[in-house]
Amino acid sequence: MYTPPLHPCRTDVINCTDGTLVWGISLYSSTSPGAAADGYFVDWNSFDNKIYSFGRGPTQTTVDAPLTGVTQGSSVVIRGTVMDTAAGTDQEEVIERFPNGVPAVSEENMREWMEYVYMQQNCPSDAEGVDVFVKILDPNGDWYSETVTTDTNGVFSVSWAPAIVGDYHVTAMFQGSESYYTSYSTTTFTVDESTAQNDVLSADEIADATVNKMPEYPTLEMPAYLTIDIILLIIAAVGVVIGLLVYLIVKKQ
């Protein structure tokens, strides 16, 4: 099947002040001119027999963080998406091709991307996503922020290692463009104290634990017969001493 239009017709929007091109798209209206009002332009496309409405469309931003506590010092991955939620994305033929939603793209790729999504043209090989401003509020009220760009699936992610224990609040904001309205989303995550720090014992705790693990010193009871023997030995020793004293006295006389 030959997908490009058989004749190169485009509809271009020109800045009437300086004559520069605002935007253009492959569209051929053979029946009547388009109508513009309230920032939207509506026209018939003879290429596919559909009516198109051109203008700034809504978006949806999502952001997710770990649902379980993150250990202090470990990295946390904050992930989300920015999707085009214009009315045209609800068409069955669009949903079949984009079951996860239509990603938002940069202004530079808008014409080729819209022709790819709605007019069955080739996907632009150099398509880029949109910038997302991610800011994280820590438990002390300080902010960390970073601007990241979504991919052609509309996905963005930030990897960051929080240093403070407590609850964090995350906001991801797409600030909009000439083609999209702004959107944002929020989430939270918790950082727990490091288990390695909890397991560190002081010198006194280590000493007490070591002493408590040592076996008790046995208490020995002296048998009764040993006591009698000791008494007899003492009496015998006293008798010997007395005998020696008597012998020395007699010898001197």
- 33 and 138 together in one domain: no
188 within a domain of the structure (yes/no)? yes
CA 175 – CA 215 distance, rounded (Å) = 70
> How much is the pLDDT for 220?
47
Domain presence at residue 230: no
Q: Which residues contact 66 (CB under 8 A, 6 or more apart)?
A: 76, 77, 189
User: Do 77 and 152 sit in the same domain of this protein?
Assistant: yes
pLDDT tens series, the chain, 253 aa: 445 555 557 777 788 888 888 878 887 776 677 888 888 888 888 878 888 888 999 999 999 999 888 888 889 999 999 999 999 999 999 999 999 999 999 999 999 999 999 988 889 988 999 999 999 999 999 999 999 999 999 999 999 899 899 999 999 999 999 999 999 999 999 999 876 554 555 556 555 654 454 445 455 454 555 556 666 667 666 666 666 666 666 666 5
CATH code for the domain in which residue 105 is found = 2.60.40.1930
Enclosing domain of residue 2: 1-55
Same domain for 96 and 200: yes
Q: What is the dihedral of CA 222, 224, 226, 232, to 10 degrees?
A: 140
The whole-number pLDDT of residue 207 equals 55
CA angle 40, 180, 34 (to 5 degrees): 20
What's the pLDDT at 163? 87
**E strands, 21-177, where?**
21-25, 35-37, 40-45, 50-54, 59-64, 70-71, 76-84, 102-103, 131-137, 143-149, 155-160, 166-174
CA distance linking residue 55 with residue 199, whole number of Å: 60
Q: Are residues 46 and 118 in the same domain?
A: no
Quick check: helix, strand or coil at residue 50? strand
- Domain count for the chain, please give it: 2
Q: Does residue 72 lie in a domain region?
A: yes
Does residue 235 belong to any structural domain of this protein? Answer: no
- The answer as to whether 251 is a domain residue is no
Tell me: do 8 and 132 sit in the same domain. no
Check whether residue 114 and residue 164 sit in a common domain.
Answer: yes
Shared domain check, 82 and 144: yes
Using alpha carbons, select from 180, 159, 61 the residue that is nearest to residue 110.
180
- Claim to verify: residue 29 and residue 142 sit in the same structural domain: no
**Displacement of CA 33 from its chain's centroid (Å):** 50
Instruction: Give the residue from 153, 57, 149 showing the smallest Cα distance to 102.
Output: 153
Q: Is residue 44 part of a domain?
A: yes
- pLDDT, position 78: 95
The residue to which tokens 């010193």 are assigned = 217
One domain, residues 150 and 120: yes
Q: Is 120 within 8 Å of 127 (Cβ atoms)?
A: no
**Model's pTM, two decimal places?**
0.71
111 and 27 co-located in one domain? no
In this structure, the answer to whether residues 65 and 177 fall within a common structural domain is yes
Strand partners, 149: 131
Do 4 and 62 fall into the same domain? Answer: no
Instruction: Answer yes or no: is 241 within a domain.
Output: no
